[in-house]
Amino acid sequence: MFAQLVYAFELATADPRVVGVNLVAPEDDPVALRDYGLHMAMIKFLRPLYPRVKVSLHAGELALGLVPPERLRSHIRQAVEVAGAERIGHGVAIAYEDDALGLLQTMRQRRTLVEICLTSNETILNVRGSAHPFSLYRSHGVPVTLASDDEGVSRIDLTHEYQLALQRYRLRYADLKHLARNSLEYSFLAGPSLWQGNAFKRMASSCASDRLGARSPSRGCAAFLAASDRAQAQWRLEAEFAAFEALPQWRQP
């Protein structure tokens, strides 16, 4: 396992197409359960040796009945506080963590994004609706976005997950935009963000006087966008929002 992690960190350092490191296996696998703390310690050891490599970890993809209750108490905390993951996949077992409220506060302060996989969590863990921590994360200010987990297995796409979130949690259009913006703000794309802060209210100073997503940004804004893959993707998203919101069905009679 350690050799595979070293290889992964080396690969992410050498090849820009590799944007980060993750661990792939069922979290309830006997080896994963037995060695979870050791795996997190390995990643902690490697982080300072490879400071530019990002880490996204599946953590808390567990539920009562799948594993003994004591196994629900620490995986997310270890992924966040020991391994230092920038993103967490699933995070379903957050309410069973020791000092769950303190952990939620830590995740908010560290801006640790949680990838919410509604269909996957219902299918694999039988967790849905009010039993799912999607609303818990949002109410505590932890950044979240939606993920499909595995489109090929679940026979879904990301649009399906947005529709499911809308129907189950009565989200507004502004909430959906925030989720989509989070997916880029907390991505592993290179370069600074288009936004100042995580409320998506103020753009970077170079683009502050421009219209969001404009086809022809000002010279200063264009130079800023050209130097940042993240900001370029964010600008394209805003242009797509503007085009969608300009459709005739949005116009009031």
* Residues marked as catalytic: 61
Note whether 182 and 145 are within 8 A (CB).
yes
Tokens representing 18 are 């590799």
* Residue 71: Cβ-neighbour burial (10 angstroms; 0-12, 13-18, 19+): middle
Angle at 157 between CA 59 and CA 192, to 5 degrees: 65
Note whether 150 and 140 are within 8 A (CB).
no
Q: CA 226, CA 194: separation in Å to the nearest integer?
A: 12
Rg (CA), the chain: 19
| Helix 173-185 and helix 158-169, axial crossing angle in degrees, nearest 10 | 130
Tokens representing 206 are 């170079």
Q: CA 184, CA 168: separation in Å to the nearest integer?
A: 24
